[in-house]
Amino acid sequence: MTNDPQAPGLPGLTGLTFAKGHGTGNDFVIIADPDGLLDMPAGHVAALCDRHRGIGADGLIRAVRSEALAEGRALLAGEPEAQWFMDYRNSDGSVSEMCGNGVRVFVEFLLSRKLISLSIGQTLTIATRGGAKIVLRTAGGYAVDMGPWSFIQPGQADARGMDSLVTAGGLDVARPGISISMGNPHTVVALAHVDELAAADLTKAPLVDPLPKNGTNVELAVPADPLVVDGVGVIAMRVHERGVGETLSCGTGACAAAVATRFWAGATAPDVWRVSVPGGDLGVRFLPGADGTEHVELSGPAVIVATGTIS
Ligand X SMILES: N[C@@H](CCC[C@H](N)C(=O)O)C(=O)O
Site for ligand X contains 179 (CB under 6 A)? no
**214 a known binding residue?**
no
| Closest to 196 (Cα-Cα) out of 220, 224, 165, 212 | 220
Pick between residue 96 and residue 187 the one whose CB is nearest to ligand X. Answer: 96
Applying CB under 6 A, among 235, 236, 250, 310 the residue interacting with ligand X is 250
Residues 233 and 261: beta-carbon distance below 8 Å: yes
Site for ligand X contains 128 (CB under 6 A)? no
Torsion of CA 157, 159, 161, 165, to 10 degrees: -60
Please confirm, yes or no, whether 99 is among the known catalytic residues: yes
Pick between residue 199 and residue 303 the one whose CB is nearest to ligand X. Answer: 303
Binding mask 92-111 for ligand X (x = CB under 6 A): ----x--xxxx---------
**24 a known binding residue?**
no
Neighbours of 67 (CB within 10 A): 13
- Phi and psi (nearest 5°) for 276? -95, 120
Please confirm, yes or no, whether 255 is among the known catalytic residues: no
CA 88 to CA 70: how far, in whole Å?
15
Which positions ≥6 away from 82 have C-beta within 8 Å? Answer: 66, 72, 75, 76, 125, 126, 127, 132
Site for ligand X contains 285 (CB under 6 A)? no
Size of the site for ligand X (CB under 6 A): 18
CB of 14 to ligand X, least distance (A): 28
Site for ligand X contains 275 (CB under 6 A)? no
Omega cis (within 30) before 176? no
**Active site residue ranges:** 99, 250
Residues that bind ligand X (CB under 6 A): 26, 59, 90, 96, 99-102, 184, 217, 241-244, 247, 250-252
Residues belonging to the binding site are 26, 90, 100-101, 184, 217, 241-242, 251-252
